[in-house]
A and B are shown apart, each in its own frame.
Chain A
Amino acid sequence: MSRFEIRWHGRGGQGIVTAADLTATAAIKLGFYAQSIPTFGTERRGAPVIAYNRIDRQQIPERSPVVEPDAVVVADPHLLINPKPLGAGLKSGGYLVVNTVKSASEVREFFKRDDIKIAVVNATKLAMDVLRAPIVNTVMVGALVSATGVLTLESVINAVRDRFPPRLADPNAQLIKQAYESVKVE
């Protein structure tokens, strides 16, 4: 694998920065060089949040935000208002991983892109069923690694177990597995 770059879109409270951290942790444990880059504002629940990952075999010198991602994750369906900021710079052949009740073809219609792969998962429902809270970060990590094949299922589950005590890690590991299996890509 050459360089793989990810941009995360979500809202404050959904754990987007943690999702990027878990992704970088999994990559580093697999022997990659990886970065997790949060953007910081005045942290407020519900405000739009962006985070980035870079994953590479070699050391990564860049310290700037990702501008041409290989994958974009949209963790909140309410962000699907304007396709422009979400799809900005997404490479041809790249992946768009979306939390939505819509079908992949409906999402494609919204973004008007024929040159990317679209992955959809009803992350809010999965999270509500298991956590009883709309914290979708681990669901989206599962969907991302399933859709893109960039990291193994086991590696991200291990990252969750490294970071959280079993009380939190168990349901989130379950969510990652469910998302991994239920994400629809086309």
Chain B
Amino acid sequence: MGKVLPLGGNYAVAYAVKACKPDVITAYPISPQTTIVERLSEFVANGELDAEFLHVESEHSALSVAIGAAAAGARTYSATCSQGLALMNELLYIMSHVRLPMVLTIVARALSAPINIWNDHSDFMSVIDSGWIMMMSASNQEAYDEIMLAYRIAEDPRVLLPVITSMDGYIQSHVVEPVEVVDDEDVISFAPKRKSWVTLDPDKPVTMGAVGDPNWYFEFQRQLWEAMKESRAVFDEAVAEFSKKFGRDYSAIETYKLDDAEVAIVGMGSFMGTIKAYVDRARKNGVKVGTLRVKLYRPFPSEDIVRALSNVKLVGVMDRALVPGSPTGGFLHSDVACAVRQAGLDVKTLGYIAGLGGKLLTMDNVKQMVDILLKYKDVKEVPKEPFFIGVRE
């Protein structure tokens, strides 16, 4: 079943999308995402994929077209990042609030200014309130696998929400590593096309995206809250079924050597691999450190995180996007801290801002992060200001 190919993350995603047989692909190129839709357009051109590929004049148009396609019942795909995602912004809310399923891949890249094409999570974090289910991978295999998970979850009649899959720009998108590409039939049988949502039909006319006056708007929002919450059970079912079928295990969070850990680093994306490698080194020197990677960001897996961190003394949360003026400096830290407080847990948290605009995380940077935790683990008051890791002051 399937074969192992040397693939960059973008090509891995393109293979997965092809196997999911979307009816409509619509996109505007932007680095480092471009080679996803470039490869998909080749698949369409050479007949390997029977889809409508729409070249549009902007990302705003790309998502507008996607809304129309999904409303007509099409399985729809797009990919973008950074300024492209920012330009999509108003349509993101429409897609999710009209409850149309689609899959959008963000190849995470910094937002301008200064102009920067390199990787961080500021684009991903700029849309966390948009009503999309959001996940972020840490390897090219996971980026590939996320596509079929995403379609299966999005089109589940209990969910009907669009899904964002994400990977780190360049660090995943352009790094070649082995990826098991599953047979197309196995992919589509895992994520079969389901006509599970109300669609535009001349014979049975409906109105979509109508005015929701004060008598109705609030009720729509309330339903979206429920749908997002309930999607978590569907996510869990999907990853369990995935594990049975393909033998790879995913969950909302990934923990590493947390069982007896005194201190832990929480973060997202592919940098967590470098942190795992450092944890192995530090463990050899008797340092009780572990890590937790958040894969599913919306809906936020608060209970999983609380369970995993309940015996840790101090948690350092690494944000790869800066939120100026916020209590912690980063959305991930704010969400983790909130989850811990809501559970009444006696676990302290501090924050790091790291790897903005393509600044790579070195082993020395990780050592610095762990040393900060060791310094403060038995101290009552920990700094509220985030630590800026690897920046020139």
24 residue pairs A–B, Cβ–Cβ below 8 Å: A21-B6, A21-B176, A24-B176, A25-B6, A25-B176, A28-B177, A28-B178, A33-B178, A34-B6, A34-B176, A34-B177, A36-B177, A38-B170, A38-B175, A40-B32, A40-B174, A40-B358, A60-B273, A62-B273, A62-B277, A63-B273, A64-B274, A64-B363, A67-B362
Q: Residue B360 at the A interface, CB < 8 A?
A: yes
Given contacts A63-B271, A63-B361, A64-B363, contact A37 B276 (CB under 8 A): no
Bound CA–CA A98/B171 (angstroms): 27
Q: Residue B198 at the A interface, CB < 8 A?
A: no
Cβ of B273 and Cβ of A24 under 8 Å apart? no
Contacting residues, chain A, for B4 (C-beta < 8 A): 28
Given contacts A40-B170, A61-B273, contact A33 B6 (CB under 8 A): no
Q: Which residue of A lies closest to B365 (CB)?
A: A64
- Nearest chain A CB to B153 CB, angstrom units: 26
Bound CA–CA A21/B8 (angstroms): 9
Contacting residues, chain A, for B276 (C-beta < 8 A): 61
- Nearest chain A CB to B255 CB, angstrom units: 14
Bound CA–CA A141/B236 (angstroms): 45
Q: How many residues in A have their beta carbons less than 8 Å from beta carbons of B?
A: 20
Contacting residues, chain A, for B53 (C-beta < 8 A): none
Contacting residues, chain A, for B271 (C-beta < 8 A): 63
Given contacts A40-B118, A63-B171, A63-B271, contact A24 B277 (CB under 8 A): no
Q: Which residue of B lies closest to A26 (CB)?
A: B6
Having A28-B5, A40-B174, one finds 11 other A-B pairs with CB under 8 Å, namely A20-B176, A24-B6, A28-B178, A36-B6, A36-B175, A37-B175, A40-B170, A63-B271, A63-B361, A64-B362, A67-B362
Contacting residues, chain A, for B360 (C-beta < 8 A): 64-65
Bound CA–CA A6/B340 (angstroms): 43
Bound CA–CA A24/B117 (angstroms): 25
**Among residues 121 to 180 in chain B, which have CB atoms less than 8 Å away from a CB atom of chain A?**
168, 170-171, 174-178
Q: Residue A138 at the B interface, CB < 8 A?
A: no
Q: Residue A122 at the B interface, CB < 8 A?
A: no
Given contacts A21-B176, A35-B177, A38-B175, contact A63 B270 (CB under 8 A): yes
Contacting residues, chain B, for A36 (C-beta < 8 A): 6, 175-177
Q: Residue A29 at the B interface, CB < 8 A?
A: yes
Closest 9 A-B residue pairs measured CB to CB?
A61-B273, A36-B176, A25-B6, A28-B6, A61-B276, A63-B270, A28-B178, A61-B277, A64-B274
Encoded as 1 (CB less than 8 Å from any A CB) or 0, chain B from 5 to 19 comes to 110000000000000
**Among residues 1 to 57 in chain A, which have CB atoms less than 8 Å away from a CB atom of chain B?**
20-21, 24-25, 28-29, 33-38, 40
Contacting residues, chain A, for B178 (C-beta < 8 A): 28, 33-34
- Nearest chain A CB to B182 CB, angstrom units: 17
Cβ of B273 and Cβ of A35 under 8 Å apart? no
